[in-house]
Structure 1
Amino acid sequence: MTEENKQNEELQSQDAIESNSIATEEPKEKPKSSGSGALGWVVSAALLVILILVATLSYAGDDKGENVASVNGVAITEKQLYDALLLIKGGGQNGQQKMSEVTLDDLINVELMNQELQKQGLVVAEADIDKELDALKKAYGLDDEKLKQTLAQSGMTVADLRPDLEKQAKLRKLLSSKATVTDKDIQDYYDQNKESFSTPEQVRASHILVKTKEEADAILKQLKDGADFATIAKEKSLDTGTKDAGGDLNYFGKGQMDPAFEKAAFELKVGETSQPVQSAYGFHIIKVTDHKQAASPTFEEKKEDIKNILMMSKINELAQPFIEELKSKAKIENSLVKEDKQEGAAATEEPAASTPKEEATTTTN
């Protein structure tokens, strides 16, 4: 396997199995997704904060305490700021003031963007949001289940993601006319990243892990008599990382699992169940549910995906300067900045007031 693009690692879901895992170790490299490279748009440092915070703007117009800022007369309240801060981890007490200022600035940016969208009469339909979701899944090689697992690691659901995707769709409409992608750009990207588009041979399997061969034999008999594999996995498997999912391990390539387990899994046909397989963790009954051969997509197969990757990469590059331009034309009031300036002025005056005392002390001595 080749080294993965760093940007792709941020959303790439984890396949390692917890506790009684049959994986020899968490792979240093994971199978490639169908796209990588310039697609940093979902987790772009500046945009991610903006997109996550956008949900808090739904409070505008309600009684939510004192206003902490306003953008062209539209208030941002203490409640909005508080809710936004709850979404951000870390910082500690020493960094709370700075974090509040940064977060409020992000809320101001979001409001600026919303007003510009309204000004231009841009409307995003549910179909547009679905397209953004499909593009995200395709770019990272995620099916619906894998996406759910990835989001769950951050305490999110697909429903939580939709407001972010809606903003992404609107941002695309705002800036796509300024972002151009040529056929040469697409061809160059394909040539430079061809290897990353390739996927190795993979199987998708479920397993039931038990301690002894006797237990495994008894389970195998139950399965032959018509028992449901997933139900037994939930009831009896010792693998706490997969039992609740009916033993599903999702897709894995060669070199990721215990050698004996891997050999058995790759030799099974789709739908077949193995004899008991012994590993360092116990005995496994394995069922293969899918088998994908190694694949290298052609340029034509990847052309639209690459175009989307490059388009969103360019839009992201334009986003921050675009927001700064909106800021320069807007009437913005920010109470936290005023407080900061007042505190800074007070701190500057204090040393000046103490100077005569210091001089007097020096003279006395």
Structure 2
Amino acid sequence: MTWIKKNKLITTLVLAFIVAVGVFLTFTLNKDEAVAKFNGESISKDELYNKMVEQYGSATVDQIISDKIIAAEAKKQKVTVSTSTLNAEIDKLKAQYGSDDAFNQALAGNNTTLANVKKDLKNYLILKKLMEPDIKITDGEMKSYFEENKDSFATAEQVKASHILVADEKTAKEIKQKLDNGEDFAELAKKYSTDEGTKDNGGELGYFSKGTMVTEFDNAAFSLPVNSISDPVKTEYGYHIIKVEAKKPAQAANYEESKAQIKDTLVDQKVDSQYQTWLDSKKKSYDVENTLSKEA
């Protein structure tokens, strides 16, 4: 998925930039007005716009044409992607980042939005459904992939925990006393925790493997029995009170249990490698012309 998502995101941003600059220049400048000057020599709006088209125009138009071919094929073959399927894939993406907060930070870091990612992902899922009937995955390929990537299919021991983070030991001990007196952990997290990413969810951290958290936190969480609450644990972030809710034992890699994931990964790889061939074959069915490409 990543390869096409990045490609589509880049071209979409470039196209949007070209269009935005074109609109800005059209409404704010006359044809010969300068957008900049160099040694007293004017750089006109036409020079700027033409340079942008020269650098990005042909590739951007090619991407637009590709999108239209995919859309036309999807309509012809009645291929759609349901909202539930799309949301499930978004949930998988979020899980890779560990939390909604980390996922949202990744979106911001890439100057994009959830709406853009959903649109891009939906286009990819449609393309995958169009191509998948012609993609063959053999048992031999799947077993080879499993053997070459066995470590990635093994599962380390995991703990499901919540925490309340505060700045000082005195406050942490007061909260622990409230918990010992029977007060609700989630409500106290919402009231006292300084972890903005988890406090509104009652301090919920979900499942994590050993080594994910800082050492002091890890040691405490993995040594606590299920349904128990720690005394205050000091880390570089402050004082934590940790509640362990469940544990999952480590599991060795299992081929049978991993087959669906392996097949999906191999399909993604073949969509990547066969995409251009598929696109070229479909393009023959349409009247397509990129005049910018001819000028290049």
Q: TM-score, normalised by structure 2?
A: 0.71
Per the alignment, residue 103 of structure 2 pairs with 150
Q: CA deviation at 1:160?
A: 5.3
Per the alignment, residue 330 of structure 1 pairs with 286
SS of residue paired to 2:259: helix
Q: Please tell me whether residue 255 in structure 1 is matched to residue 211 in structure 2.
A: yes
Distance 1:281 1:51 in 2: 36
Q: Would the alpha carbon gap of residues 136 and 125 (structure 1) be closer, same or farther in structure 2, given more than 3 Å must change?
A: closer
Per the alignment, residue 28 of structure 1 pairs with none
Q: Given that residues 211 and 283 in structure 1 are in contact (C-alpha distance below 8 angstroms), is that contact kept between their aligned partners in structure 2?
A: yes
Q: Would the alpha carbon gap of residues 196 and 143 (structure 1) be closer, same or farther in structure 2, given more than 3 Å must change?
A: closer
Per the alignment, residue 7 of structure 2 pairs with 49
When the two structures are aligned, how many residues end up with a matched partner? Answer: 263
- 1:221-232 aligned at under 5 Å gives the runs 221-232=177-188
Distance 1:79 1:277 in 2: 50
Q: Which residue type is aligned with residue 263 of structure 1?
A: N
Q: Deviations over 1:69-88 (max 9, x none)?
A: xxxxxxxxx989748x9xxx
Q: Please tell me whether residue 105 in structure 1 is matched to residue 58 in structure 2.
A: no
Q: Which residue type is aligned with residue 302 of structure 1?
A: S
SS of residue paired to 2:163: strand
Q: Given that residues 164 and 195 in structure 2 are in contact (C-alpha distance below 8 angstroms), is that contact kept between their aligned partners in structure 1?
A: yes
Q: Given that residues 164 and 241 in structure 2 are in contact (C-alpha distance below 8 angstroms), is that contact kept between their aligned partners in structure 1?
A: yes
Q: CA deviation at 1:194?
A: 1.1
Per the alignment, residue 74 of structure 2 pairs with 117
RMSD: 3.8
- 1:307-326 aligned at under 5 Å gives the runs 307-326=263-282
Percent identical among aligned pairs is 33
Q: Please tell me whether residue 233 in structure 1 is matched to residue 189 in structure 2.
A: yes
Q: Would the alpha carbon gap of residues 53 and 211 (structure 1) be closer, same or farther in structure 2, given more than 3 Å must change?
A: same
Q: List structure 1 runs of 4+ shifted beyond 6 angstroms.
A: 51-54, 78-81
Q: Given that residues 213 and 276 in structure 1 are in contact (C-alpha distance below 8 angstroms), is that contact kept between their aligned partners in structure 2?
A: yes
Q: Which residue type is aligned with residue 292 of structure 1?
A: K
Q: Given that residues 51 and 167 in structure 1 are in contact (C-alpha distance below 8 angstroms), is that contact kept between their aligned partners in structure 2?
A: no
Q: Given that residues 5 and 121 in structure 2 are in contact (C-alpha distance below 8 angstroms), is that contact kept between their aligned partners in structure 1?
A: no
- 1:158-169 aligned at under 5 Å gives the runs 161-169=117-125
Distance 2:185 2:229 in 1: 9
In proportion to residue count, which structure has more helix? 2
Per the alignment, residue 282 of structure 1 pairs with 238
Mean CA deviation greater in 274-283 or 323-332 = 323-332
Per the alignment, residue 219 of structure 1 pairs with 175
Distance 1:79 1:285 in 2: 48
Unmatched 5+ residue regions in structure 2? 23-47
Distance 1:240 1:144 in 2: 17
Q: CA deviation at 1:302?
A: 1.0
Q: Which residue type is aligned with residue 138 of structure 2?
A: T
Q: Which residue type is aligned with residue 105 of structure 1?
A: D
Distance 2:16 2:91 in 1: 34
Distance 1:133 1:240 in 2: 25
Q: Deviations over 1:111-152 (max 9, x none)?
A: 012122333x333252xx6456656766x7938984785266
Q: Given that residues 213 and 283 in structure 1 are in contact (C-alpha distance below 8 angstroms), is that contact kept between their aligned partners in structure 2?
A: yes
Q: Please tell me whether residue 177 in structure 1 is matched to residue 133 in structure 2.
A: yes
Q: Given that residues 164 and 203 in structure 2 are in contact (C-alpha distance below 8 angstroms), is that contact kept between their aligned partners in structure 1?
A: yes
Q: Given that residues 270 and 291 in structure 1 are in contact (C-alpha distance below 8 angstroms), is that contact kept between their aligned partners in structure 2?
A: yes
Q: Would the alpha carbon gap of residues 259 and 168 (structure 1) be closer, same or farther in structure 2, given more than 3 Å must change?
A: closer
Per the alignment, residue 270 of structure 1 pairs with 226
Distance 2:71 2:237 in 1: 54
SS of residue paired to 1:301: helix
SS of residue paired to 1:251: strand
Unmatched 5+ residue regions in structure 1? 1-41, 57-77, 86-92, 345-365
Q: Given that residues 133 and 165 in structure 1 are in contact (C-alpha distance below 8 angstroms), is that contact kept between their aligned partners in structure 2?
A: no
Q: Given that residues 50 and 109 in structure 1 are in contact (C-alpha distance below 8 angstroms), is that contact kept between their aligned partners in structure 2?
A: no
Q: Given that residues 181 and 307 in structure 1 are in contact (C-alpha distance below 8 angstroms), is that contact kept between their aligned partners in structure 2?
A: yes
Q: Given that residues 47 and 316 in structure 1 are in contact (C-alpha distance below 8 angstroms), is that contact kept between their aligned partners in structure 2?
A: no
Higher RCO structure, 1 or 2 (CA under 8 Å, sep 6+): 1
Per the alignment, residue 351 of structure 1 pairs with none
